[in-house]
Structure 1
């Protein structure tokens, strides 16, 4: 039996999707134990209770804990209507969890479709994180003026993090320095800063561990044929489905329906509170 530690960030808008994500993780692995840490962005008592109920519902849910960050640390960060200040809180994971050596960071808009044990056990071979290439295949490192041996740019929605090496290399300090010194470069916010600091220091993971919406919709092929083979493998057997972009499975207005929205609703109890505009199925 293995203990997996999951870290996420949530506000009241995303408390229910996060609950569904955790429910999907716990439902797909009844062998291992899970501890969940949530960066708390002003969650109300009702939403905290909704998440805490997983402890009694699933025997393999060891605990749900809430983390608090000093918001003043992020008073100057770049935000927009989709990327809020709390998205930056995860940068301080190593400091707020000083006794842990490894965590798996997951965005709220994901669903787990299998066991995470193999991902959790993945050797990082000296790299600080493991992540999946961003499915937009954008040349962001070059655009930011970052010199790197590998031009790949990762999506930060799923990150397997070696906290010991993160602390040793002072990554939090380096990322925050980049954020404060180069706000004009942060088109994709803290994801840009993480890529800038961790260039050449992250392990390329199989896209089945972060199958993003662009990949699902086949919006573009990877420029490298071997990577496109991996993309097709991910479509056939995704472990983590990432509802990246504006189309979310709990939304039924304003955007085209997500092709894998039913995967989300598989894990929604009939008593689960709904957002305005939601419908089951």
Structure 2
């Protein structure tokens, strides 16, 4: 099955290796996987930077599953690799990969389904991975999360209260989780055929699908996952002032359609920009500052123009009033 998926997806592997590997306290490798499309390159860079900044003492390897990577992107990832001395592997899926046929809606893309390929794409010698969405930042060391015992489970994740999804998917367990942060036991995932069964369910019941592979995985596992503390996936909606804010959140996940790099007044977006400043994509932060300055100047010009217009209107009205006064 692994060979079939690799062939179907026409996977091409690239690597960015640091010139000097970071000396770490632990020899055990934490394998972290991201799945993105070309629109999330910068945000992936931010997420990876946040992981590196907060995990100096751990031996981390990144695995990126994506459908397109420009030479300029690879150059920046090489800078990131050398800056934080981490190995980064890229798995490029062909443009005609089978995941593009699955249901897509709202702000999603076929990349949402790429995580279903993780067990087949990665080396057979890797037995456990930490999957992370690219629209999050890591704000703490990941050792405790990585050391979670999942020997009897296909994965560990943070449960969320979504009764609508539980009812719609007819989950007997009454449990549902967000797939943005998953500690995955690849052996059990493969033995339980989670990816295959999830894809079959999504293809057979598209009318039940709202959150793409997340619904499919939840349906197949139906509560059979290990619960993580909410601090490992503190979901934040930028268009909601208060939503499930967790004290001491280790991972902050910007879920929903509105993201911190988009135009919004929510001050929580600054944590994203702070980490981006420490990445090879810091030029985007400088551009953002210039955009803000331009917006401020534009606003000031608009206010000045409005004042002049009001003054002119007042002058014209005053002159008209004088004429009317003389007429009477």
TM-score (norm 1): 0.85
The residue aligned with 1:251 is 262
- CA deviations 1:31-59 (Å, max 9, x no partner) are 11111111112121212222232211013
Distance 1:143 1:124, change over 3 A: same
- CA deviations 1:82-124 (Å, max 9, x no partner) are 1111210110100111221000110010001000111011012
The residue aligned with 2:242 is 218
Distance 1:45 1:275, change over 3 A: farther
Distance 1:276 1:85, change over 3 A: farther
The residue aligned with 1:274 is 284
Contact 1:139 1:152 in 2 (8 A): no
| SS state at 1:103 partner | strand
Q: Is structure 2 residue 272 aligned with structure 1 residue 261?
A: no
Q: Is structure 2 residue 84 aligned with structure 1 residue 84?
A: no
- For residues 32 and 241 of structure 2, what CA distance do their matches in structure 1 show? 28
What's the Cα RMSD here?
2.4
Contact 1:104 1:120 in 2 (8 A): yes
Distance 1:68 1:52, change over 3 A: same
Deviation beyond 6 Å, 4+ runs, structure 1: none
Q: CA deviation at 1:277?
A: 8.1
Q: CA deviation at 1:4?
A: 0.7
- For residues 276 and 187 of structure 1, what CA distance do their matches in structure 2 show? 37
Distance 1:28 1:22, change over 3 A: same
- For residues 169 and 28 of structure 1, what CA distance do their matches in structure 2 show? 34
1:38 pairs with 47, 64, 76, which one?
64
1:138 pairs with 151, 155, 163, which one?
163
The residue aligned with 1:106 is 132
Q: Radius of gyration: which is bigger?
A: 2
- For residues 254 and 237 of structure 2, what CA distance do their matches in structure 1 show? 9
Q: Is structure 2 residue 34 aligned with structure 1 residue 11?
A: no
| SS state at 1:30 partner | coil
TM-score (norm 2): 0.73
- CA deviations 1:157-214 (Å, max 9, x no partner) are 1111000101111112111111111111111111110110111211111110010014
Q: CA deviation at 1:155?
A: 0.5
How many pairs are equivalent? Answer: 260
Q: CA deviation at 1:247?
A: 2.6
The residue aligned with 1:116 is 142
Contact 1:139 1:153 in 2 (8 A): no
Contact 2:176 2:223 in 1 (8 A): no
Q: CA deviation at 1:23?
A: 0.7
| SS state at 1:160 partner | strand
Alignment of 1:142-153 (within 5 A): 142-146=167-171, 148=172, 150-153=173-176
Alignment of 1:123-202 (within 5 A): 123-134=149-160, 137-146=162-171, 148=172, 150-202=173-225
The residue aligned with 2:314 is none
Q: CA deviation at 1:65?
A: 0.8
